[in-house]
Amino acid sequence: MGLEVTVRLMRPEDLDAVVAIDERITGNRRDEYYRHRFEVAGLKEAQINASLVAEADGRIVGFLMGTLFFGEFGIPENSAVVDTLGVDPAFQDRGVGGALFDQFRANMRAAGVERIYTLVDWKDFGLLKFFGHMGFVPSQRLSLEYPVP
């Protein structure tokens, strides 16, 4: 029998669970980063459909934080970005990430989004495989970086 996953909108009280999952994945505790992301996402006052959590076995086991864009960066179509995706290591490869992305995609489609982007470290083969499985392909846009001296 498969894992039963429920995806819902992220709420302000989910902050601690999100930070804990991220710490289990990265080995770093990033409270301030996520506190800021929750504020930017508008989670202080309201729920929005670009940030989601997945629940299974009575607890939060994954999250997806996204951003909607309406013409920024010279992109003419309404677009969205998957900013951060995290699944508790104990629940990886069990459909949690797919459930989160499926709901995110449905929410973005309902919001009129035409294209979803994300950035992935080219050496993160697991994440590249996941996004490829979700239907992502290399973008026609090139990400540039500048090392500030």
Give the range with max mean pLDDT: 1-10, 32-41, 92-101, 134-143. Answer: 92-101
Domain topology for 6-133? Aminopeptidase (3.40.630)
Residue 65: C-alpha distances to residues 2, 68, 94 (Å): 25, 10, 19
| DSSP symbol at 8 | E
What digits encode the pLDDT tens for the residues 90-111? 999 999 999 999 999 999 999 8
CB-CB contact of 47 with 58 (8 Å) = no
CB-CB contact of 18 with 86 (8 Å) = yes
Residue-range domain boundaries for the chain: 6-133
| Mean pLDDT value across residues 116-126 | 91
CB-CB contact of 85 with 24 (8 Å) = no
What digits encode the pLDDT tens for the residues 26-84? 999 999 999 988 877 665 444 446 899 999 989 999 999 998 887 666 666 788 999 99
Written as six digits, the tokens of 103 are 């709901």
